[in-house]
Amino acid sequence: MQLKPRGTGAKGGAAADARLARRRLIAASCALLGATAARAQEATNAASDSISGEWNVDSALAYYHEGAGRIKAIEPIVNFSKTFGDGRTFSGQVVFDSLSGSTPNGALPSIQPQTFASPSGASLSASPVTYTTSSGTLATESARIYTVNPGQQPMDPNYHDQRLAVSANWGLPLSRVLNASYGGKLSYERDFVSVSANAGIARDFFEKNTTLSFQINNEFDKLNPIGGAPVPASDYALFQKTGGKTKDGVGMMFGLTQVMNRRWLTEVNFSLDRFHGYLNDPYKILSIISPSGGTTGYLYEKRPSSRTRKSVYWENRAAWGRLSMDLSMRYMVDSWRVHSDTAALSVRWWNPDRDRFLEPNVRWYRQSAADFYTPWIDSTGSRYISYASADARLGAFHAFTYGLKYGAKITDSQDDTTSEFSVRVDYYRQTPDHQLVGPGSLQGLDLYPGLQAILVQIGYKF
């Protein structure tokens, strides 16, 4: 693997200046030759670095930690990209996730201890379970249950999972102003497999100052929930579960990228996607609550079998001297009546030698609740449930993210190469909105604990 030429640095004097000038000339030439800003031409962002056909490698290690003993995740990720001599581009990505910790099961706290079965469990009894195996023999296993103390948020303490995802995308210039792209993604977890394919076309106008793009995506997911897929809205204590389930989705996206002026680039994307199939979270349940606040039972959640989402996304990039800025906004609405607004801003501040930067960022997010979201089910109401979920991710809440990133370019005078090291720390806080007060004994309990998380990302690219 050949490394790219060294860029700017604090050392190097006139030679470094010459290299800087050459590098800027190459970058500007690349922009002239077709490195327009269209999203469909993702790999062109690296084209200035790989103009001579070298591989670019971008790697990161992310550590994610939620408060209150919830999920911890570690995620190594690496991206390879290359621009070939004929203008074709390739970008590949490999991600591995390892998650563990406690995850809310959807039930409410109670003033009484509550006992739940792990996903693989088949009984709420503490006694060993005897069952018939697929070969017809009887087997006995110890009970897989967990008990939640009074007042505590019910969480499955034994959650763990691993995910491996691989994706690849190719870009193909069809003419001086027309580019095609296509790619695919495969993601594997022990209870979930996802395969998707995408294709797109982008056309430049007005001396490559305007790019219109259109992309389509098709995804197929296979769910193999641990212990089986519960029958939606069935009684939790009956363990009515079936085999694997599927869902599939189709999406399309129109994009407009526009160079506004020498320092400002803007992009607007209109997206539409529709998913159909088993859209429930197989591990989420709801509490059935009596007027006195007591828990009389639980049901598995039941979500509609289709979901259509529409979104508008607007991103702006601007730069002045040693500062650059990325401001994005998104509005999304879906057929579950979830409306959300997102705004994110990051500002990068370079040092005079342009080999170090600091980048604070902030993100604000707000969503309304899905129309079938309910924190609990009233025991005195109808037992017929059309759709219901107590998954807090479908409730109304707002969230803030505050973060800071530091990056440093490292030059190696021995082999005339450069690389970049970065570290980012983000703090995420989610606060529930429009909270219903629980009846009776639930009034003194924290039914909506929210979420706090820290993300640390260490990156290295060369």
Partner 1 sequence: MKIHITTFRVRNLMLIAAGALLLNGCASLGVKPWQRDVLAREDMQLNAEPLTHAINDHMYFSKEASSGGRGFAGGGCGCN
* Interface with partner 1 in residues 145-204 (CB under 8 A): 161, 163, 165, 185, 187, 189, 191-192, 194, 196, 198
Q: How far is the CB of 149 from partner 1 (least distance, A)?
A: 25
* List of residues 6+ apart from 320 with CB closer than 8 A: 263
Is residue 155 within 8 Å of 177, Cβ to Cβ? no
48 contacts partner 1 (rule: CB under 8 A): yes
Residue in 158, 315, 327, 379 binding partner 1, rule: CB under 8 A: 315
Nearer to partner 1, 390 or 394 (CB): 394
Residue in 20, 45, 145, 356 binding partner 1, rule: CB under 8 A: 45
Q: How far is the CB of 150 from partner 1 (least distance, A)?
A: 27
394 contacts partner 1 (rule: CB under 8 A): yes
Site string for partner 1, 366-385 (x = CB under 8 A): -x--x---------------
334 contacts partner 1 (rule: CB under 8 A): yes
d(CA 309, CA 252): 11
Q: How many CB atoms lie within 10 A of CB 322?
A: 13
Task: Write out the H or E segment, with its range, that includes residue 156.
Answer: strand 155-173
d(CA 224, CA 357): 45
With tokens 């690496």, the residue in question is 78
Residue in 88, 203, 393, 429 binding partner 1, rule: CB under 8 A: 393
> Phi first, then psi: what are they for 354, rounded to 5°?
55, 35
# binding residues, partner 1 (CB under 8 A): 97
With tokens 């599939």, the residue in question is 248
* List of residues 6+ apart from 415 with CB closer than 8 A: 3
Q: How far is the CB of 210 from partner 1 (least distance, A)?
A: 4
Terminal CA-CA length for the chain: 11
Alpha-helical runs (H) found in 312-360: none
Site string for partner 1, 102-141 (x = CB under 8 A): ----------------------------------------
3 state DSSP class of 29: helix
Nearer to partner 1, 288 or 405 (CB): 405
Nearer to partner 1, 370 or 447 (CB): 370
Q: How far is the CB of 52 from partner 1 (least distance, A)?
A: 16
Tell me which residue of 255, 179, 174 sits closest to 213, measured CA to CA: 255
Residue in 59, 115, 234, 240 binding partner 1, rule: CB under 8 A: 59
Q: How far is the CB of 84 from partner 1 (least distance, A)?
A: 18
Concatenated DSSP letters for 221-248?
EEE--TT-EEPTT-BGGGT-EES-EEEE
Nearer to partner 1, 46 or 288 (CB): 46
Nearer to partner 1, 58 or 353 (CB): 58
Nearer to partner 1, 5 or 439 (CB): 5
3 state DSSP class of 20: helix
Candidates 108-116, 172-180, 298-306, 333-341: pick the segment binding partner 1 (CB under 8 A): 333-341
- Dihedral over alpha carbons 122, 125, 127, 131 (to 10 degrees): -20
Report CA-CA distances (Å) from 165 to 76, 89, 110, 216, 307: 11, 21, 39, 20, 24
With tokens 């400002």, the residue in question is 264
Nearer to partner 1, 156 or 315 (CB): 315
Q: How many CB atoms lie within 10 A of CB 194?
A: 18
Q: How far is the CB of 138 from partner 1 (least distance, A)?
A: 32
Q: How far is the CB of 209 from partner 1 (least distance, A)?
A: 3
3 state DSSP class of 104: strand
Q: How far is the CB of 45 from partner 1 (least distance, A)?
A: 3
Q: Name residues contacting partner 1, limited to 291-310 (CB under 8 A).
A: 309
428 contacts partner 1 (rule: CB under 8 A): yes
Nearer to partner 1, 223 or 377 (CB): 223
Is residue 130 within 8 Å of 142, Cβ to Cβ? no
Tell me which residue of 349, 352, 323 sits closest to 405, measured CA to CA: 349
d(CA 453, CA 432): 15
Q: How far is the CB of 359 from partner 1 (least distance, A)?
A: 9
Q: How many CB atoms lie within 10 A of CB 147?
A: 12
Nearer to partner 1, 115 or 346 (CB): 346
219 contacts partner 1 (rule: CB under 8 A): yes
d(CA 404, CA 285): 37
77 contacts partner 1 (rule: CB under 8 A): yes
Residue 114 DSSP label:
E
258 contacts partner 1 (rule: CB under 8 A): yes
Residue in 221, 230, 300, 390 binding partner 1, rule: CB under 8 A: 221
Nearer to partner 1, 114 or 196 (CB): 196
74 contacts partner 1 (rule: CB under 8 A): no
Q: How far is the CB of 378 from partner 1 (least distance, A)?
A: 24
